[in-house]
Structure 1
Amino acid sequence: MLQTDFRIQMKEEANELAEKLIAFRRDLHRFPELSLQETVTASKIAAWLSELGLDVTTRVGGYGIVADLTGGLPGPTLAMRADIDALPILEETGLPFSSENPGVMHACGHDVHTSILLGAAELLARHREQLAGKVRFIFQPAEEVLAGASMMIEDGALDGVDEIYGLHNFPTLPAGKVATKPGQIMAAIDRIEIRVEGQGGHGSMPDQCIDPIVAASAIIMGLQTAVSREISPLEPAVISIGTIQAGTANNIIPQFLDMTGTVRSFSSKVRDGMPDRISRLAEQIAAAYRCKASVTYISQVPSVDNDPACEGYLRQAIQPLIGDDNLIEALPSTGGEDFALFLQKVPGSFFFLGSGPQEGAEKAAGLHSPHFIVDEACIPLGSAIFATLALERLGNKTV
């Protein structure tokens, strides 16, 4: 058969699987599990993969799963990864399959990613004799806390792997569209922890205290000048404070205030300069308010940097499935992913799969929103993309 024929067949077979995949996704959505607690989720995934006759290994890096599909001929090993954990968010979608675990929600679409990869495994299991090599399916826990990738690598998930591919659903991109690019596609992620110390006392007598809340307010505003006045506007960077904790009562000025934040960047030069830059601003602004500030800077994961050759292979697999008009050049996202750690070990590529409403429809809620909803039409398409990619890279292009 011609190459176009096998791609079309993968898409048709994925569409035939859609009802089964969507049902599985909804079950995961109904019973989400937080990072490092994905026991039931992992057991459901392992059961599906075992039924396909794959070589399944559980408890890889926590509750991660590695499943190998060996082709009919020897060859290289191509890996595909999906993340499986949920978020500590109270769901407010009103969906009939809303979370039954209060305060836990698949608000980032990892249930979608998992179902997509299971679909790809089922498609490829049907055509394993056409594969010259091995496909490794990696189901990763604890992505939301940026721990799972490193744990799985340490447990050998990438041993023998030659290339790796992954995806993330994108609710601001309509279902049916895909965005990709060579090079950096997602930012590096770092964490900051800042403690501000003053002198506590009665809220009615601020002159007898040293107020860390006022100092912290100035620090939060001052940190934005690290981006706006110390970094080139051509070098993207973000500093956001996400938590502030201080005080015990409305009429007490506390002695301590603790805050945490996230730092995003692409340039290694910008990233390397952030610890000193943030410490200087926090410490000296605090001093101006008679307080002391201490900064802990925690480097977490590098940028997601797509190998140009692998991104080309991915683009080649996607284009015939959706056409030129639906394959978009991605804009780099200041979101981040610990998939970056896999890419540090082996070449690969990551792409954004549209999961949002069609153009002209009401705008969808974004990732990590309690109102997050996906267009489930993205699931069979994602499975078809992964399966087509594997057949492109390992197959004889006939099915």
Structure 2
Amino acid sequence: MSIGVWDYLPEYRTERADVLDAVAQVFESGRLVLGESVRSFEEEFADYHGLGHCVGVDNGTNALVLGLRALGVGPGDEVITVSNTAAPTVVAIDQVGAVPVFADVRAGDYLMDTSRVADAITPRTKALLPVHLYGQCVDMAPLERLATEHGLVILEDCAQAHGARRPGRIAGSMGHAAAFSFYPTKVLGAYGDGGAVVTPSAETGRNLRRLRYYGMEERYYVVQTPGHNSRLDEVQAEILRRKLRRLDTYIAGRRAVARRYREGLAGIADETGLVLPETATGNEHVYYLYVVRHPQRDKIIERLRRYGIALNVSYPWPVHTMTGFAHLGYPRGSLPVTEALAGEIFSLPMYPALPPDRQDAVIDALHEVLRTL
């Protein structure tokens, strides 16, 4: 048996008729770019988040780039974020000419340690960019207070947190804008690339629409600042529209997988020091990833490979340690929790359609490997 970290084929086999009907609907519509499917998806995705505006774009990285630009972040500004994230979070900051500033994360849930953000604020700070990581939300209340006190904007990185909530609030609704990725592996994934930015602000929404279409408000005429060609594809938008209706079902499936892992691994975890995911107080976790931790991570991954089980590490290299960001000047040891996690965390296979027998195989193999370390 070969078990991958992620597999879209079981879902596709179940939803194939709807996916192909979505494609046919777009092809027969007579409009292949910025048509009815994009408009409808934008309305429905904004409504899902209780917000007035959504702008679909071509991928999650550009959602961050355009979100920053639409909020007025530019050259020389500082943006406070985390290093325990996918590189695109920081690449986006760099692309608008701003300077990434890192706060460490918490050892328990791996989310931004908001108690450290105030010390990172300088007169050049323009924005806070919290990353809702692995399927749950950063505690936004302290960041909202800091933003109000210092006149900062907040852009939420929600690439891994579709549908995640804190009490009464959904990820993406707690800042001035929020960026989403619809990369196929995501909780709400397309059949290719895609992204979106949501915002409660009509002005920010207008800025985003210009920026994703070269900076144009009318065809062929660039207004104010030149933008990008960053449009969400009609086919992907129609597929996402239909999958959005099933998003809560996908989340329930992920939680069921997480529950089975916890029940099957709790005993061996206590015996061997395997750290299972912790849900932060007040959070409703959607389990984009099921991230565990062990000091002998690399040995565990190698031994599980012999069972045909593939695991993933998100992320083995903190962004501040990458040579591409060496110019930021963060030496080893500057973010101790982030750096410690990078050597110990790994992700078990996780997707809603993961068959129970394959999940049990992962659990059984982990039992055997952990007992023989």
Query: Normalising TM by the smaller chain, what interval?
Result: under 0.3
Q: Which has the greater radius of gyration?
A: 1
Higher relative contact order (CA 8 A, sep 6+): 1
Larger helix proportion of the pair:
2
